[in-house]
Amino acid sequence: MALVNGCEQQTLAITDRATQYGDGCFTTILVEQQCVQLWSLHLARLELSLQRLAIAAPNWQQIYSQIAALALKYPDKGGIKILISRGSGGRGYNPLGCHDTQVVITDFEWPLHYQQWQQQGITLGVCQQRMGNSPMLAGMKHLNRLEQVLLKQEVETAGWVDAIVLDGDDRVIETTVANLFWRHGNTVYTPALQRTGVAGVMRQQVLNMLDELNYDYQVGDFGVDAVLAADEVFITNSLMALVPVNQIQTTQYCQRTMFKTLWKRLHSC
């Protein structure tokens, strides 16, 4: 099913600025037992991104109605993607006068391998290619995702499940599809994302839970050595929630204390 501005539709105008320039943003939402998960966090991030991009906000109530109706298709688990484009108009890159916000909603089956990842954990590689820095765009889940496409090609070629990505200054940022957390002793760490990276909704939820649990954490700049020296590593995104990392390159992790605490908390919310 694909809805464009609430109507079933399979195409967009070739003039749409999402197609021409990646001029928009998106979010991917977990549906569990017919319910839309973490909507308030998805909404907050979409609103913030549209503000930063100066794209006119759509009618959020209508959007919520549409995704809530789609969620009913999934008694177990499913996914919904909301893509918001600035639409057609403007002159070249200049979006002046373009007030044509397009909302594309699609739903899809939950990737079943995520269950195995959650239960058994995964091994991560470390990408050779370095993510760029773009403070203008950092943190947003915008539609300019060519770096992720190229990084995923590297992951595929290397035969990894997923991999850690560093920036040009050797800072750990995230994986190709998830945010990264690690615990060393009693402190949890995750990379700052002011220069690049996607500030994931599940990342925010984890930070919120760490606050609620009164757990010590640091958001900052770290090299891969800090991750390799950790007691425990896990990755997060909206669809997979939390996935423990068993191994990065040749370094193994067998502790799951923090993962289990957060998993329990997440499923008791």
Instruction: Please give the positions annotated as active site.
Output: 28, 141, 174
Instruction: Compute how many other C-beta atoms are within 10 angstroms of the C-beta atom of residue 264.
Output: 10
CB of 257 to a second copy, least distance (A): 30
Q: Which of 1, 9, 72, 186 binds a second copy (CB under 8 A)?
A: 9
CA distances from 125 to 104, 113, 152, 163, 252 (A): 33, 18, 12, 4, 12
Buried b (16+ CB within 10 A) or exposed e, 46-85: beebbeebebeebeeeebeebbeebbeebeebbbbbbbbb
Beta bridge partners of 191: 220
Query: Which phi and psi angles does 150 have, rounded to 5°?
Result: -70, -35
Q: Which of 84, 103, 137, 230 binds a second copy (CB under 8 A)?
A: 137
CB of 110 to a second copy, least distance (A): 13
The span of 58-66, 145-153, 241-249, 258-266 binding a second copy (CB under 8 A) equals: 145-153
Nearest in space to 27 (alpha carbons), one of 67, 85, 84: 84
Q: Is 7 in the site for a second copy (CB under 8 A)?
A: no
Cβ–Cβ < 8 Å for 98, 117: no
The nearer residue to a second copy, 67 or 151, going by C-beta atoms, is 151
Q: Is 129 in the site for a second copy (CB under 8 A)?
A: yes
Q: Is 206 in the site for a second copy (CB under 8 A)?
A: no
Nearest in space to 248 (alpha carbons), one of 131, 156, 161: 161
The nearer residue to a second copy, 38 or 53, going by C-beta atoms, is 53
The nearer residue to a second copy, 114 or 215, going by C-beta atoms, is 114
Q: Is 5 in the site for a second copy (CB under 8 A)?
A: no
DSSP 8-state symbol, 55: P
Q: Is 221 in the site for a second copy (CB under 8 A)?
A: no
CB of 15 to a second copy, least distance (A): 8
Residues between 150 and 189 that touch a second copy (CB under 8 A):
150-153, 155-156, 168, 176-177
The residue with tokens 């402190």 is 187
Q: Is 19 in the site for a second copy (CB under 8 A)?
A: yes
x/- site string to a second copy, residues 41 to 80, per CB under 8 A? Answer: ------------xx--------------------------
SS3 208: helix
* Cα–Cα distance, 121 to 98 (Å, whole number): 46
Half-sphere exposure of residue 27, counting CA atoms within 13 Å on the CB side?
27
The nearer residue to a second copy, 159 or 185, going by C-beta atoms, is 159
Q: Is 101 in the site for a second copy (CB under 8 A)?
A: no
- Interface residues toward a second copy, by CB under 8 A: 2, 4, 9-14, 16-23, 26, 53-54, 83, 85-86, 92-96, 104, 106, 129-137, 142-153, 155-156, 168, 176-177, 196
